Chain A
Amino acid sequence: MAKDNEKIIQQNMLKPDGLNPKVKYSIAAVLLALLLLGIWWLEQILPPSSIIFTVLKKGAIYSLIAVSLNLLNGFTGLFSLGQAGFMLIGAYTYAVLTIPPESRAAVYMYYDGGIIDFALPVPVAMLLAGCLAGLCGFLIGLPVLRLKSDYLAIATLGFAEIIRAIVQYDKLGPITNASNLLRSFPVFRSTLFPFIVAGLCIAVICLLINSSYGRAFKAIRDDEIAAEAMGINLFAHKEMALVTSAFFAGIGGALLAMFQMMVQARAFTSAMTYEILLIVVIGGIGSITGSIIASFLFIACSEWWLRFLDEVQIINGFQLPFMRSGFRMVVFSIIIMFVVLFYRKGIMGTKEFSIDGIYKFFRRLFTGEGKKPKEQKGGGAA
């Protein structure tokens, strides 16, 4: 009996269920290349004002931000609501440092052109945006990471509000332009730019999650006390998760500023964090691919597919009831409530969308072989 089991285990180890890693990575590379090519091709045939590009750009940016929040909420179990604050820092850092000197007089018209008279290259400014957000994450982490779930949520939410107040402070006007908007900084034209930047950032987050640090994060999420007993330094790992998340939220904020072509502190309210949190919930707390899928779905629904709900529709002289401005968001929030209440796992649960998974799915579908591993095991034991 025991020997039988051992044999099965050995067989399973020798013949892994999935694909050869080399094949897997080449398929992934080909798919990514196809995706980028597809976008490039779309840009050639469609006018740049097409709604698809808005959805793709914003979706890519939100993916990055949602994944960064998921790193905290889903993988480390820290219920943080400070994402809007980090995004704001990123967006402002980027905008302040890249506005070309010749346009500064117009942007900072109330503050004599501001006190900064240089402009950094875009990649440097974006990196700095991430670093400054990360630094703020580190500083705020020192006091608040000692708190438990709900207190942490409220403290990080409060942090975001404090940041918003500081940026709008009059005395800081020469740097941040106070409550006036910042504009004229370099922006991207191609949809490929946010895809590549967000893709690279998400890849780094994936590497982190699959490293030994990532396993420590998951251990903290599952049971803090047990994790501590296993020798994981709770504070250091939580701080690390927070700084990483803040860094990428900062880069996401910079991308968002570029997408909007202007940035104003007033927009970065707690409602923005809630939206991102809801995206993470819809995608599945603890699933990176889930967050990405949910971001694109969320943006597509709110910017495109549900737009028709906002317009008064008349069919055969009969005006459809309820349809007027704002109805889209009501329908949208009802859908979200349904997901939260009845479909709590979200689209992906904690699973990931992987080439291995698809391969196994098709193999099951076509050959009927290698069904669920559970059944196999039962068969072997009998």
Chain B
Amino acid sequence: MDNLSYYIQQLLTGVSVGGQYALIAIGYTMVYGILRLINFAHGDIFMAAGFFMVYASASLPLYISIPLVLLLTVILGVSVERIAYKPLRQAPRMSIMISAIGVSYLLQNFATYYTGGLPRSYPTIPFISEIITIGTVTTSWITLLTPVLTLALVIGLVALIKYTKMGMAMRAVSKDFETAQLMGIKINNIISITFIIGSFLAGVGSILFFTKYPTVLPTIGAMPGLKAFVAAVFGGIGSIPGAVVGAFVIGICENIIKAMGYTTFSDAFTFVLLILVLIVRPSGLFGEKSTEKV
């Protein structure tokens, strides 16, 4: 019985971690859908959101600092796009990817410089970090709240993309960049909106993530970032429901592996999964097949 509740607890943690990955993965998948770019800096934007919270909550009450953090994260995400990706729009894809790696390098180095490289402890947000006990299972509110919040945000986002004019424009841009431009869609605005949504969700994800693992480090963004990217590939890059499903699968599997005592391999598992997916079904679970044209 004890064993069972242990596994249920791990499963719940997995679902919660999956929800956090999902929020990050959406940023990857949307940017990839539109720009065909792996935004390597996305994980570092997630890290920056963590530091914003550390500094904002030091002097401001929570009901101001949380919106402020989200706003700053969005501004950071959009400025990265404007400064580092926009000038390279006509360049080969490899150049933009290198630019993304450069931004990631810059953000990490800047965070190390600004914070002195020391780990900072994340502020506790009351209520959601409280512990609750259901039957024999002990968990915190955050574990239960994360998947619910994630699903709510995702449903909202899918509705936005499906039913609004802006969403239609986004779909058009991701289908065909040039034609969409000819149809009078302002590409740059759409790209900015994509980055706004992606960074906003990364900000929410960071609040949930760091409430659970309350240490912020300059290099902490890399691993969740890569895992979220794998989730996006697993679900079929460009597809939002795919990214969410992929993120939950990865989150749950990772925690099962940890529960079985193979913690060293919990990170490696993600990449094994990636390579397997790419061999068996390169377009992912929900991805569209693309044919190569000469």
Binding site for B on A (CB under 8 A): 73, 79, 143-144, 146-147, 149-151, 153-155, 157-159, 161-162, 164-166, 168-170, 225, 269-271, 274-275, 277-278, 281, 285, 324-327, 329-330, 332-334, 336-337, 340-342, 344
Name the residue among A146, A153, A326, A340 with the largest chain B CB count within 10 angstroms: A340
CA of A161 to CA of B222, assembled, Å: 12
CA of A285 to CA of B93, assembled, Å: 14
Shortest CB–CB separation between residue A170 and chain B, in angstroms? 7
**Nearest B residue to A74 by beta-carbon distance?**
B94
Which residue of A150, A169, A269, A271 is within 8 Å of B97 (Cβ)? A150
CA of A271 to CA of B44, assembled, Å: 13
Name the residue among A146, A166, A336 with the largest chain B CB count within 10 angstroms: A336
Chain A contacts of B268 at CB under 8 A? Answer: 161-162, 164-166
CA of A164 to CA of B226, assembled, Å: 15
A–B Cβ pairs within 8 angstroms, 20 of them: A79-B94, A147-B278, A150-B36, A150-B97, A153-B97, A154-B274, A155-B275, A157-B226, A158-B274, A161-B226, A162-B268, A165-B264, A277-B101, A326-B109, A326-B112, A326-B116, A337-B84, A340-B95, A340-B98, A344-B91
| Contact yes or no, A225 B294, CB < 8 A | yes
Chain A contacts of B103 at CB under 8 A? Answer: 337
Q: Closest 5 CB pairs between A and B?
A: A158-B271, A326-B113, A165-B268, A329-B109, A333-B106
**Nearest B residue to A338 by beta-carbon distance?**
B102
Chain B contacts of A332 at CB under 8 A? Answer: 109
**Nearest A residue to B95 by beta-carbon distance?**
A344
Assess whether B134 is interfacial by the CB under 8 Å rule.
no
| Contact yes or no, A149 B94, CB < 8 A | yes
Q: Which of B104-146 contact A (CB under 8 A)?
A: 104-106, 108-110, 112-114, 116-117
| Contact yes or no, A337 B102, CB < 8 A | yes
| Contact yes or no, B105 A336, CB < 8 A | yes
| Contact yes or no, B109 A274, CB < 8 A | no
Assess whether B256 is interfacial by the CB under 8 Å rule.
no
- Consensus secondary structure, chain B interface: helix
On whether A333 and B109 interact (CB within 8 A), knowing A162-B268, A340-B99, the answer reads yes
Chain A contacts of B267 at CB under 8 A? Answer: 161, 165
Assess whether B270 is interfacial by the CB under 8 Å rule.
yes
**Nearest B residue to A167 by beta-carbon distance?**
B264
Q: Which of B204-243 contact A (CB under 8 A)?
A: 219, 222, 226, 229-230, 233
Chain B contacts of A278 at CB under 8 A? Answer: 98, 101-102, 105
**Nearest B residue to A324 by beta-carbon distance?**
B113
| Contact yes or no, B275 A341, CB < 8 A | no
CA of A341 to CA of B91, assembled, Å: 10
Chain B contacts of A333 at CB under 8 A? Answer: 102, 105-106, 109-110
Chain A contacts of B98 at CB under 8 A? Answer: 277-278, 281, 340
Contacts A150-B37, A225-B294, A326-B116 given; 4 further ones with Cβ under 8 A? A166-B268, A281-B98, A333-B105, A344-B91
| Contact yes or no, B38 A150, CB < 8 A | yes
Shortest CB–CB separation between residue B136 and chain A, in angstroms? 31
Chain A contacts of B117 at CB under 8 A? Answer: 325-326
Chain B contacts of A281 at CB under 8 A? Answer: 98
CA of A285 to CA of B98, assembled, Å: 11
Chain A contacts of B102 at CB under 8 A? Answer: 278, 333, 336-337, 340
| Contact yes or no, A144 B275, CB < 8 A | yes
Chain A contacts of B233 at CB under 8 A? Answer: 151, 154
CA of A149 to CA of B96, assembled, Å: 12
- B262-287 CB mask vs A (1 if < 8 Å, else 0) is 00110110111011001100100000
